[in-house]
A and B are shown apart, each in its own frame.
Chain A
Amino acid sequence: MKSARLWSYLIFLTGVMYFIIPLIGMFEFSLRKRRGEYSFDAYTSVLTDAQFQQTFLYSLLMALVAIVFGILLVVPTAYWVRLRLPKMRPVVEFVTLLPLVIPPVVIAFGYIRLFNTSSVLPFLGSQFGTDVLLSCGYVVLALPYMYRAVDTGLRAIDILTLTEAAQGLGANWPAIIFRVIFPNVLVAVLSGAFLTFAIVIGEYVISALLDRPAFGPYLVWIGSNKAYEPSALAVMTFAVTWGCMALIQVVTRFSKHTRTSI
């Protein structure tokens, strides 16, 4: 039994090495910009780069729009399906899982063909329209995660009783959804939101094909033009991803008493 435990540790440590070494590698590399000594020059160079600031802010904005739009779309739908249309659940669930089946590059291709300037809905005819289209694309990419998070959250509460109680007190539908249901699934919604953020912030394919100045295409551009800055950016992106996942853990644990599990 003792040797079995030894093997467990050995296997585990090998795994840890594979996952830790690239992280050490990128961190070490990001410090090498100044010759002969470690420095944070690559970070200052990136952070003061106007293009970094613009693309990051742009992606940040897109992520926020996608999160708000995604919540407004998913929460009422998942609620309604559970309350009134349980028969439609497999269908809706199937649709929400489709973005995992259809590669993003195909979705972007479809947008370019369907929404070009000569179509009925010329989203791509203006810059604002393209931004709207891009954020809708992000809602689609995040749909599988957002829907599943919210649906799991709804399963943990008694929506029928809550709805009838609210109706008995004279609440209308918007009040029920936003003042009764929404606060009860807040944790699930937040998890979905952070996951959306982690997916959207470095997204490359759709923004590149729609030709928008997002963070993902900037990353690729800098990767082929600079030596140490890419590693600094990778470190920062990793920190952002880590932060999103940590926040999910925190909000989930914070509300353990509501028995919500994601």
Chain B
Amino acid sequence: MNWLGLVPFAIFSLLFLLLPTFNIVLGAFRTQQGAATLDNVMNLAQPRIAIAFWVSIKLSFASALIGCLLGFILATTVALGGLPRWLRQSTLTFSGVASNFAGVPLSFAFIATLGRVGILTIVIREVFGINLYGLGFNLLSFWGLVLVYLYFQIPLMILIITPALDGLRREWREAAEILGATGFQYWRRVALPILWPPTLGTMALLFANSFGAIATAVALTGSQLSIAPIVLFNQIRGDVLQDPQLGYAIAFGMIVITGITNLIYIVMRVRSERWLK
């Protein structure tokens, strides 16, 4: 009888989450006639697709790594750097907003700022005499995209890592100091080993976060950029080439990658909860 209460949820998630995904995964290993095959997955190795996946991985990795690093520095500064308390609360509130301010509007903001006629581009040219675009900077490039992605990656890192920083007990620092540790030794031997699992876990989450992101890139580059989600998007819309089975395989490849990174996140989270109660 107790199971009945779970029926609506089970039906909903089966119908709108599990079955659609399962259908895609199954399709990746089938021919159009329904026979089992590995050809679709093998087809991912063709240069057009492989390069798109590689660019996607590099993009997600770069934005996750830099976002993690800068987010960590900012969170530590705010949590432990002796700044006033209200700054800390407003940083967290702003992070909540900025981590949700992704997608199309975010790319508009950056075009207005660092595009060819953006305010910062003009100010730097008029005031400092430096022509960014003359120096080879381009917002619609790999590193331009990383710069934009950081706008939601850094705040997400701050939001997740701040509770972990709060979990560092004052006693640990005092104990280290009594035993004669320098500030550097405390961080190297005590704080960082404890913060390492949640940091790595968050990085995996940031990776998955930008790996599936598509709207920002579409609005910025007009779906011309060859990254995995855009290639799949175009494949579904059918304006690339007519091979539906390849679409299944691309989707399957994406699930595998985000699946692995989320697994890393979960494992690291469990490990970090040992210390941070």
Contact B5 A76 (CB under 8 A): yes
Partner of A5, one of B70, B81, B208, B222: B81
B141 cross-chain contacts in A, Cβ below 8 A: none
Interface hits, A92-116 → B, CB 8 Å:
92, 95, 97-114
- Give 14 new A-B contacts, CB below 8 A, not counting A5-B81, A101-B262: A1-B82, A100-B208, A104-B214, A105-B254, A106-B232, A106-B255, A107-B21, A110-B24, A205-B214, A216-B104, A231-B109, A231-B112, A234-B109, A241-B101
Q: Is A77 an interface residue (CB 8 A)?
A: yes
- Determine the interface band of chain A, counting residues with CB < 8 A from chain B: 35 or more
Let me know if B197 is at the binding interface, CB within 8 A: no
Interface presence of A53 (CB below 8 A): no
User: Are B23 and A114 within 8 A (Cβ)?
Assistant: yes
Of the candidates A22, A107, A246, which one forms a contact with B20 in the assembled complex, judged by CB atoms under 8 Å apart? Answer: A107
Structural contact, B118 and A110, CB atoms closer than 8 A: no
Which of A5, A25, A80 is in CB contact (< 8 Å) with B119? A25
At the interface, is chain A mostly helix, strand, loop or mixed? helix
Q: Which residue of B lies closest to A30 (CB)?
A: B112
Q: For chain A, residues 141 to 159, give those with C-beta under 8 angstroms from any C-beta of chain B.
A: 143
- A19 surroundings in chain B (CB, below 8 A): 94, 98, 151, 155
CA distance A185 to B76 in the complex (A): 33
Stretch with Cβ within 8 A of A (4 or more), from B7-15, B125-133, B164-172, B174-182 = B7-15
Does A38 count as interface, using CB distance less than 8 angstroms? no
Q: Which one, A4, A24, A110, A143, contacts B21 given CB within 8 A?
A: A110
| A26 partner residues in chain B, CB cutoff 8 A | 108-109, 112-113
- A245–B96 touching, CB < 8 Å: yes
Contact A105 B233 (CB under 8 A): yes
Q: Which residues of A contact B27 (CB under 8 A)?
A: 113
List of B residues within 8 angstroms of A80 by Cβ: 5-6
User: With a CB–CB cut-off of 8 A, which chain A residues contact B112?
Assistant: 22, 25-26, 28-30, 230-231, 234
CA distance A238 to B150 in the complex (A): 17
Q: Are A21 and B214 in contact (CB under 8 A)?
A: no
Contact with B along A235-256 (1 / 0, CB 8 A): 0011001101110110000000
